[in-house]
Structure 1
Amino acid sequence: MSADQITYVAFLRAVNVGGRKVEMARLRAELDELGLGPSRTYIASGNAFFAAPRTSGAKRAALRARIEERLQAAFGFEIPTALYTLDEVEEAYAAAPFAAMGPAASHERYSMLFTTGTLDPSVLPQVGARGEWEVIGLHGATAYLHYRVVEGRAPGNPVPRLEKAFGVQGTGRFHHTVEKIIAAARK
């Protein structure tokens, strides 16, 4: 990585679920072809790291659009991508309100929703119909979710509802997975 470049983390939504197959080797090749290489990935849920010049605002949106267009052409379906710098991911991880809640019980999970835009706190509260999930905080483009198993049922996927409420696209990662993503991106 050259001195004028920083590490980015691309969080891809809904890959390798429901027939939306994205092989990580091919994902890396597509990112490399965009000049974002050498790219790396972490697990098959769509977490990619690459170096590029620091961007913000319209330039960041243009980079995200280039990535999404390339991936749609390569894989044949839309792949919304939340694009953060590694520093932004670390900041969002550090700002998570989960430590104050204590360790998650066996029927609980803590998750982070990485999105494509700044989140407006005026749309809060956001809570699942059965209380199975709730947004417990926001930090820039990241929402923090608390999931619960209710009446023996696993929580449904709140992402479509939250995308509509906030007017963004997004994808979730469990809090403990984000810690591992950060470590992998730092290597």
Structure 2
Amino acid sequence: METYIAFLRAINVGGRTVKMDRLRELFEGLGLDGVRTYIQSGNVFFRTAETDRVALAARIEAGLAEGLGYPVPVMLRTVEEVEAVVESDPFAGVEVTEDVRLCVLFLSEPMPPEVELPTASPKGDWEMIGANEGAAFVVMHLRGGRMNANPATFFPKSYRGQATSRFFHTTAKIAAAARKG
């Protein structure tokens, strides 16, 4: 049995409120084992013997759409994959200040090859400093105490995937909580 972390996009934002007990119920209804949630932003831990990750993500997305009434993109990672992101320290040398936040964008598809890194938004709201096959690493520059841009919108129209972001320090906490399971 593999332990997965499902990073869900658009949970408890934009008026789409879902209680965590309902989210666990939906995952359990899909026959997934040991279902747990972590904080209110759409992080679900579970175990399964299924090995086809693409089919598993599609099945979860279909179950969530049916149960919630709207699409919820799902990015699946193993605990080891998330730990590897944290251990790689993709933000080494970047100082966190009151105006700087470090974000991991979990991707459903690899970055498009035409995206040259590092890159930054025209307004300087964010810098995408690196990426691997499943994640992009973004330094957000707050303006007036707020994040005013979504770096996932930078991807060219040819990108067919989805992305969901988590702060880097939260990503580390998610990995640790999943490991405790």
TM over 0.5: yes
CA distance in 1, matches of 2:39, 2:12: 11
Identical-residue share of aligned pairs (%): 43
More off after superposition, 42-51 vs 154-163: 154-163
Which residue identity does 1:36 align to in structure 2?
A: L
Match of 1:18, SS state, is coil
Task: Extract unaligned runs of 5+ from structure 1.
Answer: none
1:164–1:172 CA distance, 2 compared to 1 (3 A):
farther
1:96–1:140 CA distance, 2 compared to 1 (3 A):
farther
Residues 123 and 165 of structure 1 are in contact (CA less than 8 Å); yes or no, is this contact kept in structure 2?
A: no
CA distance in 2, matches of 1:28, 1:42: 11
1:129–1:175 CA distance, 2 compared to 1 (3 A):
same
Match of 1:106, SS state, is coil
Q: How does 1:148-167 map to 2 (within 5 A)?
A: 148-150=141-143, 154-162=147-155, 164=157, 166-167=159-160
TM-superposed CA distance for 1:105, in Å, is 1.6
What TM-score does the superposition give when structure 2 sets the normalisation length?
0.90
Task: Extract unaligned runs of 5+ from structure 2.
Answer: none
More off after superposition, 149-158 vs 44-53: 149-158
More off after superposition, 173-182 vs 125-134: 125-134
Coordinate RMSD, CA, aligned = 1.9
1:18–1:91 CA distance, 2 compared to 1 (3 A):
same
Aligned match of 2:62: 69
Which residue identity does 2:5 align to in structure 1?
A: V
TM-superposed CA distance for 1:159, in Å, is 2.3
Match of 1:84, SS state, is strand
1:109 aligned residue (101, 111, 126): 101
Residues 163 and 169 of structure 1 are in contact (CA less than 8 Å); yes or no, is this contact kept in structure 2?
A: no
Residues 112 and 155 of structure 2 are in contact (CA less than 8 Å); yes or no, is this contact kept in structure 1?
A: no
Q: How does 1:29-178 map to 2 (within 5 A)?
A: 29-53=25-49, 55=51, 59-101=52-94, 103-125=95-117, 126-150=119-143, 154-162=147-155, 164=157, 166-178=159-171
Identify the structure with the greater helix proportion.
Answer: 1
CA distance in 2, matches of 1:180, 1:35: 26
Aligned length: 179
TM-superposed CA distance for 1:179, in Å, is 0.9
CA distance in 1, matches of 2:84, 2:74: 19
